[in-house]
Amino acid sequence: MKYLTHHYFLITCGSFIQGMAMSLFLFPHSIPSGGAAGIAVLLNYWFGIPLSFALWFVNFSLLVLAIYWLGNSSAIGTMYAITITSISVHLFSMDLFVHYSNIWLDLFIGSVTLGIGVGILLRQKVSNGGMGVLALIIAVHRNSSPGKPLLLLNGLIFILTGSIIHWPIVFQAILLQFGSTKIVDIVYNLKLIPKIPKITPPVVWRKK
């Protein structure tokens, strides 16, 4: 029970940080945070499928893969993470929070913040949704960091989307993925300080 509470506390923190990065630093400049959104845009462009349904369809399909390859607990954790991320995006979209206008500063801060949030989630063997599911499957089965496959998958989708629809925002999205996945690997491989064992004072025998 204690492990489960700690597990979901970290998922909540990672999801909250991820949503904050999206809402405060990326979405004000229309910079997509992942490849699932890119696929949804292509489905809308090619087949006229509404973006909301296309995004749901892509994430649902990837969640099926998560259940098959990673197990029910990872899929449930991913659904929980997606929900908390959506709540966080909604909260930080309020007028109470300041949205800066410098796109390059926001891109840098957003990359670092998003990488921290996603890295925390992947450390818990939970995906942040979208291509994070495939990256986590690759990382788990190859016993490697998920940053490189995540960058490759998202980068390929962004390049495809940009070549078909519009380049400038996609170029910024690729820079975002490059920076954030570097942070993902740092957080994922972070060696936490081990607990210091309790030291029992030695028993001193006095000669009588």
**pLDDT one digit per residue (tens) for the chain, 208 residues:** 777 888 899 999 999 998 898 888 887 777 877 777 778 778 888 888 886 677 778 877 888 877 877 777 777 888 888 888 888 888 887 776 666 678 889 999 999 999 999 999 989 888 777 787 888 888 888 888 888 888 888 888 888 877 887 777 778 888 888 899 899 989 988 876 443 344 444 444 444 4
Q: What is the pLDDT of residue 98?
A: 66
Report the 3 state secondary structure along the chain.
CHHHHHHHHHHHHHHHHHHHHHHHHHHHHCCCCCHHHHHHHHHHHHHCCCHHHHHHHHHHHHHHHHHHHHCHHHHHHHHHHHHHHHHHHHHHCCCCCCCCCCHHHHHHHHHHHHHHHHHHHHHCCCCCCCCHHHHHHHHHHHCCCCHHHHHHHHHHHHHHHHHHCCHHHHHHHHHHHHHHHHHHHHHHCCCCCCCCCCCCCCCCCCCC
88, 18 contact by CB (below 8 A) = yes
Task: Quote the tokens at residue 172.
Answer: 């910024």
What confidence score (pLDDT) does residue 9 get?
A: 94
**Distance of alpha carbon 1 from alpha carbon 62, whole angstroms:** 28
pLDDT of residue 16: 93
